Structure 1
Amino acid sequence: MKSALFTGAAVTLGLFLASIGPAQASPVSPEGTPSSTASHQPTPQARQHGIDKAGDAYMGWTQNTTTKAAPAVMAPDATVEGIDVSSHQGNVNWASYWSAGKKFAYVKATEGNYYTNPYFAQQYNGSYNVGMIRGSYHFATPNDSSGANQATYFLAHGGGWSKDGKTLPGALDIEYNPYGATCYGLSAASMVAWIRDFANTYKARTGRDVPIYTNLDWWSTCTGNSTAFNSTNPLWVAKYASSPGTLPGGWPFHTIWQYTSSPVDSNRFNGDMSRLTALANG
Structure 2
Amino acid sequence: GGEVVAKCENFQRVGAFKFRGAYNAISRLTPEERERGALSYSSGNHAQAVALACQLLDVSATIVMPNNAPVTKRAATEGYGATVVEHEPNDEAREEIATRLQAETGAVLIPPFDHPHVIAGQGTAAMELVEEVGDLDYLLVPCGGGGLLSGSALAVRALSPECQVVGVEPEQADDATRSFRTGTLHTVPNPTTIADGTRTASLGKLNFEIVRRDVDDMVTVSEENIARAVVFLFTRMKLVVEPSGALPVAALLSGALPVEGRIGVILSGGNMDPSTFATLL
When the two structures are superposed, what TM-score results if normalisation uses the length of structure 2?
A: 0.29
Q: Which has the higher contact order (CA 8 A, sep 6+)?
A: 2
Q: Greater helix share, 1 or 2?
A: 2
